[in-house]
Structure 1
């Protein structure tokens, strides 16, 4: 807290107290005049004008906000579509901001302004009065007494000095109290006057940014996969061929054995690179779609699987990638931890929703949070599915069976 914050807080609270009192007086006057003149129709516009009393009150509050946080609070009123009073009134009466500001005006003139005024009066007057006790006591002599705040008598110097110390503490406490109250009042005003759509827009923008990040991540994965596939993998293939030819041309002996081992190592490196490429972003998914990619996963799974995946449509890269990697992780867990003898993969697209289910007859006990200690590998995949608007659910009671279902609302591409 800076020293300049205290007078700013006092001015803010005092200005709001005056604004609240004036709003109460003007509202009462308009209501009384409108009620009396309503019988001759003249009072009806006055009563209707009461709904707009929040506009100047909110405008003043927005300007006063700079005393607390250094900047005014911007308004969110719509611009009338046409010039003229009628268009302006129609716009104001039909927008939510007008009624929000009316509610703030009602809160200010009934509850807030007395609190603001009382806080300023007490915070500004009480500490100096208590702090000045030793001075007042010294000016009237030791034989007399001083009544602190007209309530507490002080008849000796020790009492006067104690009152002065209490006054010093009160100065600091009231200064902090005024600043804190002003900040709370400003926060309440922002909460009432700020349209909820600002928060909704922030949530929408956050969701869109998550989607953009996922799309950028998928594009980068695809680029890395292509670079490895067209670069390092091709070089390894060429190296393996050259080593194989060199082995055929070399006479039997230590050199031939070395070439043979080098050829085998190059083959193993090529296999590992292909697995790495498939884990980053499988080419079959990009080239042939989710149906073929799931079939490829099932063929490489050591546990027998029954596949009924009839989804010939193509979807966005983010949707296909999310579904593919959930299935890949589910099959990895099935092979490593489930102890299952058989499993099933089912996929369908209906009602604009892609549904993928992986089930097995294993021991169960799987957990999306990895609570079993074995680790399911599904942590984070649920977040990836949620980014594309989907939902991942898991049922795996102890003893089995285990069923993992992914549902992603989407539309086919092309």
Structure 2
């Protein structure tokens, strides 16, 4: 109960501060637009003055963008040109003056109420009005209604501020659609490339590992068939048995890298526990999964952890790895950190493929690996 009230009060305070600062910036923008209009007229005679007009508009629009982000919680990318910035300033001036008018009404109502109450407490009669019960009831009701209307005006101006910033400073719906199409095309191409790279890696694992073990096993069994001495036969059978066990182990590892069946049967937490157990470096795993995640999300998280653990053990020479998995209502976050020597390349074959896999699910993968370490890999995936 207390936390929502505190959060709501903080939002109202930020909105009110946004209106106060917005009133001053609207006055500055009005003055700038007036000067810019004169400059454009003079620019017909002196063309070198014209380029300064959109540059100044961009500076003021950037100030407005930061103000809206701080006080109204709207993040707008700084991707606007001078003409768009000028249109935004022109639309912002009347809105800022409206916000100033609402603040004036709020201040006038508060000052009037304080004067009346203070005068009555001092035994005076402001404006000749005596503090009778009907008068007090009337003023309380009228003051409450006016205060409510002023609060609604503050909230309305704040909402208009947010909508105006998104509409005039942010990208248009057509631009967002084009960006989304480009992202989907890039992620589709990246997935195809990642699948091809995974196939090549599986082929290399089978050729360099399992196939070589099976060839050695066949040679040992052939020598055993041709052998005549019992002691040599026992040694060859022992070596063949060892080769068959190694072949089974490598084949199992390849199968796990293709797709771990534990994800379907036991779930993500058990599959990650298996990764920690098979790791050559000690892994501290923390999982907070109140519900089962979608299969695509589980698969992506699993392969991110596998790649991070493999890189830490093979390339970073790490001595300890920590992995924390936290699932919220809409986003699941996985953070893997090792104490290795760092220098991981986010665009490399392994991490690059993982980034494309995560991007295909509308997620993001961040890699922070300065030389000397530590390496931190964080992935966030929507799971709603």
TM-score by length of 2: 0.42
Greater radius of gyration (CA): 1
Higher helix share: 2
